[in-house]
Structure 1
Amino acid sequence: MPVHVFRACSRPLLRRLPLLVLLPLLSLSGHALARVSAKDQAAIDALNQRMAQAERRYADALVLTANSDPKGQVESDAALEDMEDVIDACIKQRNCQPHTLLATYKRLLKQNADASAEAADDEVIGEGDPLDDGNDHSAPMPALPESARTERLLNDRRHDFDAMVEYNPAVQAGIRRWLTDMRGTLITSYENYQNMRPQMQPGWQGSGLPEALLFGIMAKESNGKVHVSSRAGAAGPLQFMPATGRRFNLGPDGTGFDTRFDAYASAEAAAAYMNERMRELNNSIEYALAAYNGGEGRAARVFRQYGGRGFWDADVYREFPPETQDYVPMVIAAAWLYLHPKQYGLEFPKLNIKPATFKLARAASIYELTICLGNGGTREGFMRTLRNLNPRYQAETWIPAGASLNATTHIANLYQRYCVSGPRAELARTLVTADLSTALRREPPRTGNVAVGEVAAVPGVPTTVATGTPKPATPKTRQTRQYKVARGDTLGGIAGKFDCEVPELAKANKLRAPGYALKPGQQLKLVGCGR
């Protein structure tokens, strides 16, 4: 390993000398000291504490670097500079012994060098992809699994998932589908997962199950669209049925929100469900996935009936419906590609996702925010991200000013720049409140002179005695108007059309925030409206 040289030439002599030269020199600095005052000792303890904090910061930075997080390099450099500052202060502090601090500094540099060497070895094996184990799994891909040709994949066991599943022609066929007509769906699933990962991964990580499995289930179940619901009643990013959800604490909460749509709660429940199934099914991911899709009762019965024979056994395989026969290898294939993209020529988008929140400066809907935020360097903008991260709100729901929304730092910055005020913010407001019915033109009433004869009283219409003209009508008491809700109407759109205040309109019609749910045909009282 090359000897590290401190960086800044303008700094003290310590930072201009090689580390190995400094160690023997500085080790002599404290031998003759016999007694240390309380003041000096307190200062030395403070320096030792700063060194320990910098060491922890450096260790955390190495973890970020190992996970390909660009913050890792920045944090490690900053931690090293913190250490250099501490050593510099130690030299100036009476009775402080820099050699003890330099020993920590040297040890961490060696740890970094060892990690770099290991990463370099991995690059040779995996073509530069830290997730790629280097095995070439491409082969002809028959569409149906055949137990006689099924084999256990032997590899370097860098990924627990690789050792927990069988890589066979059925999985290969699934990989083929994900890489051909479903490639776009897979990449969209990856983008959605990366945006939700700060919410989903913590709920899953304590399970001991591979994260790739979570991605595979989500990709097959919903493509990472949080608000998906099936005709059978399954809902959320991981598609829990109501009864199963209730067993794992998912369902309507005190506000009426169904937590099956919550990314954290659903991931935590999925982890608990999969572990429960695996304990019953000899730790077989294939059987557990079959239970997830085809019912745990069926999976348990088949497992017992065939004495625990594997899912890919021909007799076992035929016991499951076609949907489950397709589901299991497709989930495994998506998870496999999540771990080994490079060797299949798959390049996932490089996303720099940093969770953040922002507070609405004025009431808005996700539709409006999607318009004013723009694309911001993405393919499709931020509507899906905002909906996934804020599942309590429908896209058209008016969210009150002051509400905090989950987002990313990128979205939060774009919001402050384009959505608080200015032409794009006003344009977005105009577009989301546009009412189709106002585009219809009506013929104005005809005007002009009309020849009349002598004024004569009209039966039933009171006239004045002097002129015979109709008396002015006495104005009636102003009545509250009604509006019949049409399909596609939103409360915000109706308020814009009739110049109403949304909160007043909602209160008059007993509509609950934040959803303001409307039904076609519903009669609304137009209270507090200007037109």
Structure 2
Amino acid sequence: MSKFCFVLRPLSLLLAAGLLMPVADAQAQRVSARDRDRITVLETRMAAAEKRYTDALALVDAADPKGQGEADAALEDMEDVLNDCVGQRGCQMGNLLATYKRLLKGQADAGDGSDDELGIATGPVLADPDHVAPLVADVPEAARAAQLLNDHRHAFDEMVEYNPAVQAGIRRWLTDMRPALLTSYENYANLRQVMWPEWEKRGLPEALLFGIMAKESNGRVHANSRAGAAGLMQFMPATGRRFGLGPDGTGFDTRYDARSAAEASAAFINERMRGLNNNIEMALAGYNGGEGRAARVFRESGGQSFWTQWSYNEFPAETRDYVPMVIAAAWIFLHPQQYGVEFPKVNAQPATIRLAKSTTIYELTICLGSNNTRDGYMRVLRNMNPRYQADGWIPAGTVINATTRIAGLYNRYCVSGPRADLARTLITADVNAAIIRPQAATLHGSVAVGDISSAQVTPVAVAPAPAAATTPAPARSTAPRQHTVARGDTLNAIARRYNCQVPQLARANGLRAPAYALKPGQKLKLEGCR
């Protein structure tokens, strides 16, 4: 509750010094008894709103979901009182506002007295006066204003250079790449519970984690590059193995696991930082352009900045673009309102779902709908459950990761009912069933020609069939057919294509659930397929 104690003290003083202050004798003589009674009622309402607000902050601190709503309602009560005060004779609105301003100024002066404490810019790094850590649970506006007096400058701001290259990166994120930035934020918000702790306990800035993830994968767990990098943080196989990532024995590559990728990336960055005199730009250059190259450039330049001409030119164009783009994304993450960015509000409170019936992530995406989202919940489910393919069947009774909102929608729409039935119908729809296959339709030795929907059919004489050959037709081979796995194939899709049962197909080919990992070029026996 320590954060909110700072907030409540100025508010309490404000009410005591402003609304609850006795009216001066001269003013009292000009206000009627009826007006004084009305002012007293306003004072009582404001005191009750303060009490409600205080209680709400206690709920917020205890992670009670009711706290936010109660706090907002209490602030609305206060706003109503202030509005009524405007029209009430004798109510001292000016005193209230002047008192509030002096209290905030006085709290700022209680710092070290430097310009930085007051948010006055002394260089190119501008503190964002509206900034609130983006993924902290929302707190009421009155609380934000007071809390910010202790948070005018972020440590990350002092660790990197805010130069024209970073500014150009910010320009790109705010224009053509704005959708990617917002998508990255939304994806990160749903994974923050498992990723951020790994960086926090290693003393690394959260903004840097977000910046790397946004540039590397836009927050898509299953992202892959042509060079072989994989996962949220795009680890190459060899580097991943060095930091504990790779196949885990079940067919799953832990480079796709958000927590494991966060832990490995934090270890990698810290290792680079230790060898590069805590230079973030050089550490990022090593992350993208090769740790050996970064170490050599740093050594041969005598520890000079990444931005010095010789060092800068020693890195490939991709790295020279990568470093400022990561820093730019991190900068916006810390200063969203300075750039007019409103990140989406995400209900990311974690929850689990025990599946009432077998399903796929595609099916869940359909029955969950898009309640309070822009794109629905498929990406959230895939990111939180990276072991499962989007079209792979997940057995009933399996516990999957989700959020409280998804869990509520699942119980409402996906267990039973019209939407659940519709989702199952769409998921199991077979394109082949739409094809009308020709049949040897005959009519008294004639073939019907024309529109089959017409009531009149023109018979056409059919020539006698030649005598049947005496040689018997060869028996159909009973040997199982084969399918060569192509890039992007999944076992479930192959089973649907050949009308197979997934479990039987998996057993025939030694594939283990739930991943059913396939490799391009792999030959599959199509046993049990029709």
- Is the shorter-chain TM-score for this pair beyond 0.5, marking a shared fold? yes
TM-score range, shorter chain: 0.5 to 0.7
In structure 1, distance between residues paired with 2:513 and 2:68: 45
TM-superposed deviation, 1:439: 1.9
TM-superposed deviation, 1:3: 6.5
Quickly say closer, same or farther: Cα 1:301–1:501, change in 2 above 3 A.
closer
In structure 2, distance between residues paired with 1:212 and 1:221: 14
2:271 aligned partner: 276
In structure 1, distance between residues paired with 2:424 and 2:211: 38
Quickly say closer, same or farther: Cα 1:340–1:444, change in 2 above 3 A.
same
TM-superposed deviation, 1:156: 7.9
Q: 2:432 aligns with which of 424, 428, 437?
A: 437
SS in 2 for 1:177: helix
1:341 equivalent to 2:339? Answer: no
In structure 1, distance between residues paired with 2:309 and 2:469: 95
Instruction: Say if 2:237 and 2:246, in contact at 8 Å, map to a contact too.
Output: yes
2:396 aligned partner: 401
Deviation by residue 1:265-284 (Cα, 9 ceiling, x = unmatched): 11111111111111111111
In structure 2, distance between residues paired with 1:489 and 1:285: 40
2:383 aligned partner: 388
1:293 equivalent to 2:288? Answer: yes
TM-superposed deviation, 1:441: 1.3
TM-superposed deviation, 1:526: 5.0
Query: One-letter code of the match for 2:278?
Result: N
Q: 1:214 aligns with which of 204, 209, 212?
A: 209
What is the percentage of aligned positions where both structures have the same residue?
61
TM-superposed deviation, 1:516: 3.4
TM-superposed deviation, 1:368: 1.3
In structure 2, distance between residues paired with 1:498 and 1:238: 36
Instruction: Say if 2:504 and 2:527, in contact at 8 Å, map to a contact too.
Output: no
5 Å-filtered alignment, 1:373-522, equals 373-450=368-445, 491-492=491-492, 501-517=501-517, 522=523
Normalised TM-score (structure 1): 0.66
TM-superposed deviation, 1:389: 0.6
Deviation by residue 1:169-225 (Cα, 9 ceiling, x = unmatched): 111011011011111110110001001111111211111111000000000011101
5 Å-filtered alignment, 1:308-387, equals 308-387=303-382
In structure 2, distance between residues paired with 1:341 and 1:459: 84
Quickly say closer, same or farther: Cα 1:500–1:277, change in 2 above 3 A.
closer
1:189 aligned partner: 184
TM-superposed deviation, 1:349: 0.9
In structure 2, distance between residues paired with 1:338 and 1:263: 19
Q: Which 5+ residue runs of structure 1 have no aligned equivalent?
A: 5-15, 20-56, 78-112, 133-154, 462-475
TM-superposed deviation, 1:522: 5.0
Query: One-letter code of the match for 2:131?
Result: D
Quickly say closer, same or farther: Cα 1:158–1:501, change in 2 above 3 A.
same
5 Å-filtered alignment, 1:120-199, equals 126=128, 128-131=130-133, 158-199=153-194
SS in 2 for 1:253: coil
SS in 1 for 2:220: coil
1:200 equivalent to 2:195? Answer: yes
Instruction: Say if 2:347 and 2:403, in contact at 8 Å, map to a contact too.
Output: no
Instruction: Say if 2:198 and 2:259, in contact at 8 Å, map to a contact too.
Output: yes
Task: State the aligned residue count.
Answer: 404
Normalised TM-score (structure 2): 0.66
Q: Which 5+ residue runs of structure 2 have no aligned equivalent?
A: 1-12, 18-43, 48-55, 73-102, 109-116, 121-126, 135-149, 446-461
Deviation by residue 1:439-490 (Cα, 9 ceiling, x = unmatched): 221221133445999xx999689xxxxxxxxxxxxxx999697585786775
Instruction: Say if 1:398 and 1:515, in contact at 8 Å, map to a contact too.
Output: no
TM-superposed deviation, 1:498: 7.8
In structure 2, distance between residues paired with 1:226 and 1:270: 14
Quickly say closer, same or farther: Cα 1:241–1:489, change in 2 above 3 A.
closer
1:250 aligned partner: 245
Quickly say closer, same or farther: Cα 1:520–1:370, change in 2 above 3 A.
farther
TM-superposed deviation, 1:493: 5.4
1:151 aligned partner: none
SS in 2 for 1:254: coil
TM-superposed deviation, 1:128: 3.9
TM-superposed deviation, 1:313: 1.1
Instruction: Say if 1:226 and 1:263, in contact at 8 Å, map to a contact too.
Output: yes
2:260 aligned partner: 265
Query: One-letter code of the match for 2:297?
Result: V
TM-superposed deviation, 1:511: 3.3
Query: One-letter code of the match for 2:503?
Result: P
Instruction: Say if 1:432 and 1:493, in contact at 8 Å, map to a contact too.
Output: no
SS in 1 for 2:371: coil
Query: One-letter code of the match for 2:382?
Result: R
In structure 2, distance between residues paired with 1:63 and 1:423: 38
SS in 1 for 2:400: strand
In structure 1, distance between residues paired with 2:167 and 2:232: 25
